[in-house]
Structure 1
Amino acid sequence: MPQVTMTVNGRQVMREVEGRTLLVQFLREGLGLTGTHVGCDTSQCGACVVHVDGKAVKSCTMLAAEADGAEVTTIEGVTPADGGMNPVQKAFQDHHGLQCGFCTPGMVMTATALLAENPRPSPQEIRDALEGNICRCTGYHNIVKAILAASGQDVSALAAE
């Protein structure tokens, strides 16, 4: 079996993997990082989004071997060491951007990548960035509002939903 080495959430890991092992399986089953969710198995929902070398990637569409040598960050890796919440997570809580929470890790990872590239996105830019993420509970208004708030923008003009 091939061996992969990658840095996951700041820690170097090395494991043997079958060639068909998806990155999401490697993270969840191989490393016990279950915050990365499997929602659809077809790359449609975005629940499995992680960062690979700083870019948002659907980990259900990437083989673990393709991440060999990469820097991978999961939802566990964006959570502060003190157990609190990062600004995006806090904004999701404060602005009711989640209900059941299943899609939330993927949404947070997509939003975090967006804000790294565009620190002050417009509501339309946020909606465009979230195009690959599906939420079946909340609708997207409060998610957009949360991401705007996380970027430091005023959300008082947005109607509450």
Structure 2
Amino acid sequence: MKGGRHAAGEGLSRWERALERWQNRLVSKVRHREPVELVDALHHECDDHAVVCSESRVVVPNAYEVELDAGVHEELVRRGRGDVGESLTDDLARYGERKGYEWAGPLTVRVTPSACLAGEPYRVSSRPMPHVRADAFPEGD
């Protein structure tokens, strides 16, 4: 029995270390100016929801939400990186300009914690909202 408990505790410890390494890698990626995976996900979200209105007019959603693992989000805030949403908004604005996109309203990217990502490091969603600020997202939608 004693060996069985030790092995189970050891497995949990390894799992916790693996989770910690994963979180540290994600935090490291997010804290840099070019969080590659998140930026790519935002670009794909934008492209996937583009609406071609005419040859010269392509409208895309303007309100984006990035849900991060709650622990990663907490670590970003603790490290003073609460401006990740602003950095992502700036990058997405440059991307949209290069593609010739028209935003459905003022562009914003809100970064929030989430406890239910089903093993994913983040989730990106978007919608058109003509009059929006990052702090004006409807709660619970």
Q: Which structure features the higher share of strand residues?
A: 2
Q: Using CA pairs under 8 Å that are at least 6 residues apart, name the structure with larger relative contact order, 1 or 2.
A: 2
Normalising by structure 2, we get a TM-score of 0.31
Q: Give the greater-gyration-radius structure (CA).
A: 2
Q: Which structure features the higher share of helix residues?
A: 2
